[in-house]
Amino acid sequence: MAITKSAKKAIRQSLKRKAGNLVYKNKLKSLIKEARALVSQKKINEAKSLLPQVYKILDKSAKVGIIKKNAASRSKSRITKLIAKSQ
């Protein structure tokens, strides 16, 4: 358990940051999962319309530091390639 005042504050800060990071991660995972599900159901137009939202959340999470920049680029590339291939 934290003893000093600064250590207690650091714990509070890390819990707040963790909560914020989880919002991004959960949104990111759900959007990618939804896009993949739409592709598997052959609903390509719906998946294409979801693509800007996926790009936006990937870029924001990379900017904030939830995921790395290249990981965001790789995810965008893979989801785009998946949608393009299934047409």
Long-range contacts of 44-53 (CB under 8 A, 24+ apart): 44/83, 44/86, 44/87, 47/83, 48/83, 51/79, 51/80, 51/83
Whole-structure pTM value: 0.85
Give CA–CA dist 53/9, Å, rounded.
35
Q: For residue range 9-39, what is the model confidence (pLDDT) as tens digits?
A: 999 999 999 999 999 999 999 999 999 999 9
Between CA 42 and CA 37 the distance in angstroms is: 9
Say yes or no to pLDDT of 70 above 90: yes
CA 54 to chain centre: 8
Phi, psi of 79 (to 5 degrees): -70, -35
User: What is the model's pLDDT at position 53?
Assistant: 96
The one-character DSSP state at 3 is: -
Q: Where are the domains of the chain?
A: 29-87
